[in-house]
Structure 1
Amino acid sequence: MLEDQKAHFEKACENTAFQSLHVRTQDFLKTKADAYRFSFSQIQQLIVIAIDLQMWDEEIEAFWEDKESKKEALAHLQNRYETFKNTLKVYPKKAETFEKESFKIEEIEKESLGLGSCPVASPKTRCCNLMTLDAVESCGFDCSYCSIQSFYKNNTITFDKNFAEKLERLELDPAKTYHIGTGQSSDSLMWGNRSGVLEALFAFARKNPNVILELKSKSDTIAYLLENDVPKNVLCTWSLNPQVIIDNEEKRAASLQARIQSARALADKGVLVGFHFHPIVLFEGWHKAYTAIAQELLKTFTCKEVALVSMGTLTFIKPVLKKIRLRAQKSKILQMPLVDASGKYSYPLALKEQMFSTLYQAFQPWHNDVFFYLCMEDESLWQKVFGHEYANNEAFEEAMLKAYAQKIKGIR
């Protein structure tokens, strides 16, 4: 490669995941860039394809075929890549093993309490107007699809030294019902009562009975909740996926059975529980796997013990897509059809309707007694999946709060 061509190639590789590629793949791309005189954007396109294939345990070399022109060569590669990407992913029978992550724990004095509106709210999707509380910032799990990885420093978990004091001083309108969740910036339960977080949250819930406080988790760290009184306005909810997805895409999170058993243990204590199928991930065998989870929940819980079942799927913003590719970990999460979804990227609506309808029908015995909803999904899907829809976000929020309040009143 001549010096000017080398400089051109290196410039095109800046701010990409090129260095995360295997050396042989780097050499392959250099050779093809030299032979075909690819432009900046074409080189960057090749890097994205190469990274994706490497994460999916494939190699761009096997997808490549030399053609007379670069246009033909790129078109052939793109076609093979898109065909593979849109094929249902198949996971290995045995997932890779991962070393336990080391974390840096920081306790800092934050200027303000991290209370605000759901950060992924969008005017083009139906939203429940959840308020989010940053009890902890950053997560100790390593889910391949998670947006948290693009917001916080890797491997640094941040606790607010004065969280309890700030929460105690928070003044809310006593005439208004609030739905507040702590699972947006970190897992709600995995840290237990470290830095007094759960103790502060429970005191806040007792002081403010007009707050419905939701602790959302993929953890089985429930000792503090079993050993202490849990306020009746605290909901404990778990994000669920088939074990094959947990093994391959939700590294270091608790197993499916551990999550269900944790929910059962708390329900035995009189705590309201709920389940989030978010994200539902399409893979070979998805229909059977998700239906089996629904059947297990129907056998394990009564509808009186369950406040909610939500559904949603993979939706990415550009910074998260870039972060996933920069990390270049083994993951098939991006092996999926990605289409525009109100400025984000997700499955086509027809596929979403199929996956949501499949799971909802599996829960038929609970339809009249558990609150089902779609989380941050296009409003057009509600009628197709549930047979009803809400006129706006406020109507959705009102129905949700009413359903939760009725469950709280009847649980104990």
Structure 2
Amino acid sequence: MSTKIPGDKLAQFRNAAIYSSLDRKDQSSLEELASNRRLSVQQLRQVLEIARDLQMWGIGPISSWIEELPPADPREGKRQAVKTVDTLVSRWEEERRRGPEYTGNAPVYGASPRSIMESTAPATILGSCPVASEKTRCCNLQTLDAVINCGFGCTYCTIQSFYDQGRIYLHSDLGRRLRELHLDPEGIYHIGTGQSSDSLMWGNRENLLADLFDFARRNPNVILELKTKSDNISWLLENSPPPNVLVTWSLNSEQMIRWEERGTAPLEKRLDAAARTALAGYLVGFHFHPMVPHDNWRESYAAVFSRLLSDFDPSRVAMTSFGTLTFIKPVIRAIRERGQATQVLRMPLTETAGKYSYPEDTKVDLFRFGYESLAAWHEKVFFYLCMEPAGLWEPVFGFSYPDNTSFEEAMKLSYRSKILSPRF
């Protein structure tokens, strides 16, 4: 193996977490490439990220791509480094445009192991949505951190960049904290518990759901949303629901759930749990977030939309939302550092307001397909886009809200009308 790379540069290269996870052939190919073509540290880092992506996507190794490059020409100097990296980047971007391909058997992963801790810290548990942005149309959801950190292992999860991944915190004094919250009795609040953790996977551990139900009953002006990817509904079915509690499921295509939402309930179990919960008198809802254009995505999502139309009475469905993958740099870095088999970064990343997502025409294609597939619910269920630019509403829904406040008020009015309507 060549060792012409300057010592400090070679040290940075070899100490990178991604580098150490590659096999010996890939490591040798990368070091030889960097040496013979005089790649800079930044260029080395970029090629290393490409190597990791190919590894996660299952289409590598990077050594095979390097072998197909034209022979090195030392007379070209730095220009050769630029041409080399440009060639690799161009091929990598072509693969990203191809998008996820979920063929064969999905990798077998459970939820990531984490320690369950009790928290008595005096931190405020009620706040604003952690991913809210002035650049997107936002419903101004308030978030209740009843549990801190998630026990599931979704590959695209943004929570992974906010919390210590080794620990999950359940409040030992949640009931007291909820009783001490000061809410305006004249205001209407939409509060969700599914932003810092899954709302149902813990059941009633530490009296979690009982405390939340008590909070909802004492505050009828609160719309309390429990959002989940689980099928853990036994406690819900054993207890009468406060009318202002909504139970919503994050749904996806069967391929996305099997490959990317690890440790969560399978699609069929989520749908069954939602149907049983609705029949027990709860209002339910559905979030298709993230929708992802993978192989056969139209057929896969159409099957889910068809199930909703056949299995649910829209009078018991509060909302359906659409959204897609949106990353910040720390999450992209965390995905690559974990290095599990995943296709979520196999996408054309477009930067907008410091975040990375699909181009807008791809988003419109996804969301319009979902909305049109559920046409029978258009006048009966509240539809919205989650964390998406305001300019997408008109091409998807045929209308838009002038600002976040109008969106928030329309959502609350719709939810309240169903809360106050007889269920049976």
Aligned to 1:7: 8
Q: Which sits farther off after the overlay, 76-85 or 99-108?
A: 99-108
* Residue 166 (structure 1) aligned with residue 167 (structure 2): no
Cα shift readout 1:222-261 (whole Å, capped 9, x = no counterpart) = 1110111111100000000111111100011001111111
* Distance across 2 between alignment mates of 1:157 and 1:370: 34
Task: State the TM-score, normalized to the length of structure 1.
Answer: 0.97
* Distance across 2 between alignment mates of 1:87 and 1:376: 25
Q: Which sits farther off after the overlay, 288-297 or 56-65?
A: 56-65
Matching of residues 259-408 of structure 1 within 5 Å: 259-408=270-419
Contact 1:311 1:374 in 2 (8 A): yes
* CA distance 1:336–1:269, shift in 2 (3 Å): same
* Distance across 1 between alignment mates of 2:211 and 2:69: 63
1:66, distance to aligned residue in structure 2 (A): 2.8
Contact 2:150 2:197 in 1 (8 A): yes
* Distance across 1 between alignment mates of 2:12 and 2:307: 54
Cα shift readout 1:387-406 (whole Å, capped 9, x = no counterpart) = 11000000000000000000
Q: Which sits farther off after the overlay, 172-181 or 224-233?
A: 224-233
Paired residue total: 412
* Residue 177 (structure 1) aligned with residue 188 (structure 2): yes
Contact 1:16 1:44 in 2 (8 A): no
* Distance across 2 between alignment mates of 1:411 and 1:134: 30
Amino acid at match of 1:155: G
Contact 1:13 1:44 in 2 (8 A): no
Q: Which sits farther off after the overlay, 214-223 or 57-66?
A: 57-66
Aligned to 1:154: 165
Contact 2:110 2:153 in 1 (8 A): no
Amino acid at match of 2:48: I
Aligned to 1:62: 64
Contact 2:327 2:357 in 1 (8 A): yes
Aligned to 1:107: 118
1:77, distance to aligned residue in structure 2 (A): 1.0
* Residue 254 (structure 1) aligned with residue 257 (structure 2): no
* Distance across 2 between alignment mates of 1:240 and 1:7: 48
* Distance across 2 between alignment mates of 1:355 and 1:99: 29
| Aligned residue among 45, 70, 85 for 1:74 | 85
1:19, distance to aligned residue in structure 2 (A): 2.0
Contact 1:142 1:250 in 2 (8 A): yes
* Distance across 1 between alignment mates of 2:5 and 2:321: 55
1:86, distance to aligned residue in structure 2 (A): 0.7
| Aligned residue among 220, 223, 226 for 2:234 | 223
Amino acid at match of 2:397: F
* Distance across 2 between alignment mates of 1:90 and 1:166: 46
Contact 2:111 2:262 in 1 (8 A): no
Aligned to 1:26: 27
Contact 1:133 1:182 in 2 (8 A): yes
| Unmatched tracts of structure 1, length 5 or more | none
1:108, distance to aligned residue in structure 2 (A): 2.0
Task: Give secondary structure in 1 for the equivalent of 2:99.
Answer: coil
Amino acid at match of 1:198: L
* Distance across 1 between alignment mates of 2:314 and 2:308: 10
Contact 1:112 1:166 in 2 (8 A): no
Amino acid at match of 2:267: L
* Distance across 2 between alignment mates of 1:6 and 1:30: 12
| Unmatched tracts of structure 2, length 5 or more | 74-79
Amino acid at match of 2:6: Q
* Distance across 2 between alignment mates of 1:3 and 1:340: 36
* Residue 206 (structure 1) aligned with residue 217 (structure 2): yes
* CA distance 1:100–1:343, shift in 2 (3 Å): closer
1:22, distance to aligned residue in structure 2 (A): 2.7
Aligned to 2:140: 129
Aligned to 1:119: 130
* Distance across 1 between alignment mates of 2:208 and 2:351: 38
Cα shift readout 1:150-206 (whole Å, capped 9, x = no counterpart) = 111123111122211010111100000000000000000000011111111000000
Task: Give secondary structure in 1 for the equivalent of 2:123.
Answer: coil
Contact 2:3 2:32 in 1 (8 A): no
* Distance across 1 between alignment mates of 2:324 and 2:253: 14
Contact 2:126 2:143 in 1 (8 A): yes
* CA distance 1:153–1:224, shift in 2 (3 Å): same
Cα shift readout 1:50-75 (whole Å, capped 9, x = no counterpart) = 11111001221222333342222222
Aligned to 2:49: 48
Contact 2:190 2:225 in 1 (8 A): yes
* Distance across 1 between alignment mates of 2:112 and 2:301: 29
Contact 2:25 2:63 in 1 (8 A): no
1:352, distance to aligned residue in structure 2 (A): 0.4
* Residue 233 (structure 1) aligned with residue 238 (structure 2): no
Amino acid at match of 1:63: W
* Distance across 1 between alignment mates of 2:422 and 2:149: 32
* Distance across 2 between alignment mates of 1:398 and 1:134: 23
* Distance across 1 between alignment mates of 2:406 and 2:111: 44
Task: Give secondary structure in 1 for the equivalent of 2:168.
Answer: strand
* Distance across 2 between alignment mates of 1:371 and 1:291: 19
1:13, distance to aligned residue in structure 2 (A): 5.2
* Distance across 1 between alignment mates of 2:353 and 2:270: 33
CA RMSD of aligned residues (A): 1.4
Percent sequence identity over aligned pairs? 46
1:96, distance to aligned residue in structure 2 (A): 1.5
Contact 2:144 2:191 in 1 (8 A): yes
